Structure 1
Amino acid sequence: MSKIAVVFHSGYGHTQRMAQSVADGAGAELVQIDADGNLPAGGWEVLAAADAIIMGSPTYMGSVSWQFKKFADASSKPWFTQAWKDKLFAGFTNSATMNGDKLSTLHYLFTLAMQQGGIWVGTAIMPSNAKAALRSDVNYVGSFSGAMAQSPSDSSPAEMPAGDLETARLFGERVAKVSERWSAGKG
């Protein structure tokens, strides 16, 4: 069985709830970036041992949070030795508006993964885009690059749409399946 880590920052709890759903689907270990942009004790070791790293950040002003950026900058140490080369990577994000420039955040995560020499895994989840689609449907936001969620700015994490959380869980499952194939040499 492959090892998967979900490294994320959450400002208000929505991205943390999404990270938990991704981890549930992937059977992954959570590594939370704290309010000061630091990993917990042993966090770097968890990432080093992982076959796949799923990254998550809220979308603030069209990109990752400064706390996630601090982590990304600190990842120059494994980059310098190519320690994460050929690991699988994936990403997810949440913002208050339906678009909210979330794709810009996923592009940031993708670029970080490519700089690390990684292999990117998308969602492979068809969007709910028919007239009959409901906000509670899977992949209602319609992203293939990574999982996206939308949480109104005045909502609590407990009010996140069930479809967004299920999208995150299914995304985690996909990363786990691809990781198993990759680890078995069938990638």
Structure 2
Amino acid sequence: MIATFDRSRTTRGFADARGDQHTGEEQRVRSTQKSWQALSVTVVAATAAGLLGKATGVPGFTFSSAIVAALVLKLCFDFAYLPKGVKKACQIVAGSYLGTLLTVSGLRSMGRLVVPIVIVVVGYTVNCFATGRLESRLLGYGRKEGMLIASPAGASDMALIIEDLGVDNTDVIIMQVVRAIVVMAVFPQIVNAICLFTGT
């Protein structure tokens, strides 16, 4: 949807000039650390952190802890690396996992979920376009960058599709990572507190 909207605006003469500018001199410099040692350390550190997060029993800490471990390696030591081939592998594994969650009975019950699905899709879409435009105007992001930052997809999803959309701006990943950590670490605790308070 984002790619279609961007192409439509571009063909109508509204080029994404801010996006072009933002991916130029202001683009953050990516690490050039690409070695099997960095790959090994990244996998081991993220796995260990994820297992520690799972051991805490706190909902969402497995995912959040792995992200934090990789971030520490990347930002503090510039020693985090995963090859691009891993992106396709993650897409295949994620798609396969989601596919295994669907059942015949679940598909049969889709009828009663039509209204909630419409509400969620419309709400997310409006927020994506409105917030993306606001970020583009106030913060100078390009059209696609603003919408991707406001997209309801997670950090891992954005990392998988950002290059497919022709966006070369690490700010999108940074914003999504921060959002993912906050959502995965804080929101489950809020839900648990509400359920405990209401007795549900």
> TM over 0.5, yes or no?
no
Q: Which has the higher strand share?
A: 1
TM-score (norm: length of structure 2) = 0.33
Q: Which has the higher helix share?
A: 2
**Larger gyration radius, structure 1 or structure 2:** 2
TM-score (norm: length of structure 1) = 0.34
